[in-house]
Amino acid sequence: MNVDRRQDKSHLATLEAQRNRLVERGAATARSTAPVFVVGCPRSGTTLLYHMLSSAGGFANYRSESNVFNLLAPKFGGLHSTRDRKALLNVWLKSKLFRVSRLDPTEISASILSDCRSAGDFLRIVMQKIARSQGATRWADCTPEHLLYMRKIKSQIPNALFIHLIRDGRDVALSYIKQGWSHPLPWDRDDPLSVAGLYWEWLIRHGREQAKYLGADYREIRFEDLVAKPRETLSELGAFIDHDLDYEKIQRAGVGSVTEPNTSFSEEAGAAFNPVGRWKNKMNAEEIVAFEELVGRSLSQLGYELSSTPLTKSFRAGRMRAVYPALFELKHWARTKTPLGRFIRLERIEIQQ
């Protein structure tokens, strides 16, 4: 009897081991086809990483930010009603977002009206159709501000994987103001760098807070590592997303900014182009001190070395730290939690009449 029981236990253990292997194999297969979201503060190198994924092969090549969760969903009520989906299509089909997809307008409209019930559904339907049309096995999204919506994305696209690209805030701020994206209040008009730095800090903090709920499906990398040691960095990311990210193959394919840098400083393009540490030459000593006084603690926590001795917080720094993060928070809350989201302007998606 005892022998039989031991045999039964052994058999059950074998079956359990086989079941676990099947589960692990299924999880690996799912990961190898899971959508990948490249997120981060704008001007952190997200476009470069996205084009590296496109160059690696297997990913759909969609040459635009989708702007689904940060713009389209708030504008069109989360896409929960037929009325909102029709209103979305009326705009989206005239936008750059649709034009670069090369999809058939009649077919994609029918799919969205019949199968879409959320922003996640919309993005999944569109990107899966693009992937199939290109013979790709998976897709990726590169909308930097989706960093603020990772938990929502995960709830609507459960197998989503997230790569958070972090870059030195001093370089980000320089690029940000070069694009004209920093909007200080009137009394801070002469200090757009500091406002851009506070926005960089606010975005990263929000992203890292949401990462606590994403577990093993979230990974952070540094832009500086992607530039200085691309093979090792891509190898680590390849293991994370279960995809072959061969650096030589990526260089040969050279999609987009892999060969043509997506830089705000076009005058620097050339053989000696280096986007890392630009702030050392383009920020004066006074600007560096003021910037590091505001966000130096975050820079240090992220592993970036400060070049100035932190000052006792001035009245200016205290005021700006009290005002701007609260302002960013208020705008985000109004966009996502109130009907004011429907008044979002859509110029960036380039609508043609």
Angstrom distance (rounded) from CA 41 to CA 204:
7
How far, in Å, are 75, 165, 199 from residue 289 at the CA level? 40, 25, 18
Q: What is the pLDDT of residue 17?
A: 45
Contacts 24+ apart (CB under 8 A), 331-334: 332/148
Angstrom distance (rounded) from CA 279 to CA 281:
5
Q: Helix, strand or coil for residue 242? A: coil
DSSP 8-state code for residue 268: G
Q: What is the pLDDT of residue 322?
A: 94
The candidate with the shortest Cα–Cα distance to 76, out of 118, 110, 126, is 118
The candidate with the shortest Cα–Cα distance to 52, out of 125, 153, 142, is 142
- Name the CATH topology of 33-258+275-349: Rossmann fold (3.40.50)
CB–CB of 38/49 below 8 Å? yes
DSSP 8-state code for residue 308: S
Q: What is the pLDDT of residue 27?
A: 45
Q: Helix, strand or coil for residue 137? A: coil
How far, in Å, are 36, 134, 141, 153 from residue 59 at the CA level? 10, 9, 10, 19
Whole-prediction pTM value? 0.87
User: Could you tell me how far CA 61 lies from the centroid of its own chain?
Assistant: 16
CA torsion angle 18 20 26 32 (round to 10): -120
Q: What is the mean pLDDT of each run of 10 residues along the chain (353 residues)?
A: 48 43 46 96 93 94 94 95 96 95 96 96 97 96 96 97 97 90 89 94 96 96 95 96 95 83 60 79 91 93 85 82 95 93 89 79
Q: In the chain, what are the domain boundaries?
A: 33-258+275-349
